[in-house]
Amino acid sequence: MKDPFNICIVDDDDIYQFTMIKILESLNLSKKIILFSDGEEALDFMIGNLNKQNELPDVIFLDVNMPIMDGFQFMEEYIKIKPEVNKKIIIYMVSSSVDPVDIERAKSLNEISDYIIKPIKKGELVHIIKNLEEHGSL
């Protein structure tokens, strides 16, 4: 795999965050893991670091259902600031929801690369990263 990169996890589930961190660390996939418990925290971080490409994530794993600002609300606001983000950021919508409405809504947003059903397994994460590298997305 290429050099590790910045991965952002936006999810209010502490156990999911912990599991993702352990998997990423075991695979040496990230140079920096950025954690947020809701979309508003993540958006504030993005806005505060628009001119700092090294701080911004390369990949975001974004939960659908969170308090304060959910994944779809985050995406509405992210789309507004995207022209100011001087970095390609790959966003995956992640949820335990198998609701076809959520899946179709996520797929209707060009900024979302894919909708992933939780939990993300180690092999699936490796496949996602390899696929991004092979297609020049990272």
Question: Per-residue confidence of the chain (138 residues) as pLDDT tens digits?
Answer: 456 678 999 999 999 999 999 988 888 777 789 999 999 999 999 999 998 988 999 999 999 999 999 999 999 999 999 999 988 999 999 998 888 998 999 999 999 999 999 988 888 888 887 787 776 665
Q: What's the pTM value of the predicted model, to 2 decimals? A: 0.92
pLDDT score for 1: 46
Maximum Cα–Cα distance across the chain: 37
Contact indicator for 92, 112 with CB cutoff of 8 Å: yes
Joined together, the tokens standing for residue 78 give 């992210």
**CA–CA gap between residue 93 and residue 119 (Å, rounded):** 12
Contacts (Cβ under 8 Å, ≥6 apart) of 56: 6, 46, 49, 50, 85, 87, 89
Considering only the top CATH level, what class is 10-121?
Answer: alpha beta
Phi, psi (rounded to 5 degrees) for 91 = -120, 130
**CA–CA gap between residue 106 and residue 84 (Å, rounded):** 22
List of E strands, the chain = 5-10, 30-36, 59-63, 90-95, 112-117
pLDDT score for 134: 76
In the sheet that holds 30-36, the strands lie side by side as: 30-36, 5-10, 59-63, 90-95, 112-117
DSSP 92-111: EEEES---HHHHHHHHT-TT
pLDDT score for 138: 57
Sequence ranges of the domains in the chain:
10-121
